[in-house]
Amino acid sequence: VHVAVGKQHDSEARIAELRELCRTAGVPVVDVLTQRRQALDPRTLVGRGKLDEILLRAMQLGADAVIFDPDLTPGQARAISDATDLKVLDRTMLILDIFAQHATSRDGKLQVELAQLRYALPRLIEKNTMMSRLTAGPGGKAGLGGRGPGETKLEINRRRARDRIHGLEKQLDELAQHRRLRRSRRGQRAVPIVAICGYTNAGKSTLLNALTRGDAIAADKLFAT
């Protein structure tokens, strides 16, 4: 679902990029719905009537998820999720999912998980399953330590997410110290340092492989590496 605001002229490019992001994430697109508004609806992004139309269309097509562009505010994500049992995502969530699929180093995996948790935390709702893997035991029931007196599942999810965020930040700080040490050693040995910068799918990995005879993943996809 793409929403254009005012005289926005890049709708076709944004829709094309969103399709490409879906392809990279392995998500088949069954339909694209667009809307032009003077201003985004503060509660549902698209307005209640349009949201009902989108959800009806999704049901007719047997869709599993609805992906929104632009990104949803925490309040919009909660309001839309309250109106449907479909998975509700936005562009940033989709990109983070692609990062999670392609992260290979320990550092990269921790950074992606931290980014996902930080983004998801303010968007958590009572029925949301985003944090279920942190709290659920066998059969999807709250596991040991996942039941607190007077706590709702939402409160447990938020507490567990904050605890996990704190743990990830600590691990990443330790890894950063090791990186600083290695960087210092490279500097002492006068090892040249080169950075290749550019937008996703611009050819950075292809150039890197050509220069170094490396084997970095190079694919005609967004955020593939």
**Band (225; pLDDT cuts 50, 70, 90):** confident
| Rg of the chain over all Cα atoms, to the nearest angstrom | 21
Percentage of the chain beyond pLDDT 90 is 63
Which residue pairs from 28-34 have beta carbons closer than 8 angstroms and sit at least 24 positions apart in sequence?
A: 30/61, 30/62, 30/63, 31/57, 31/61, 31/63, 32/1, 32/2, 33/1, 33/2, 33/57, 34/1, 34/2, 34/3, 34/4
User: Which of 126, 128, 106, 130 has the alpha carbon at shortest distance from 118?
Assistant: 130
Task: Kindly give the interhelix angle for 153-188 and 106-120, rounded to the nearest 10 degrees.
Answer: 140
pLDDT of residue 1: 97
Q: What pLDDT sits at residue 128?
A: 44
- 147-194 pLDDT, tens digit each: 445 557 788 888 999 999 999 999 999 999 998 999 899 889 988 888
| 201 vs 218: CA distance, rounded Å | 9
What is the predicted pLDDT for the residue at 150? Answer: 56
pLDDT the model gives residue 102: 86
pLDDT for 203: 93
- Model confidence, pTM: 0.79
> Long-range CB contacts (< 8 A, 24+ apart) of 89-98?
89/65, 91/18, 91/21, 91/67, 92/119, 93/67, 93/119, 93/120, 94/18, 94/21, 94/22, 94/25, 94/27, 94/67, 95/21, 95/223, 97/25, 98/21, 98/24, 98/25, 98/222, 98/223, 98/224
Q: How far apart are the first and last CA of the chain?
A: 26
Query: What pLDDT does residue 136 have?
Result: 43
pLDDT level of residue 9 (50, 70, 90 thresholds)? confident
φ, ψ at 72 (rounded to 5°) = -90, 140
> What mean pLDDT is reported for the chain?
86
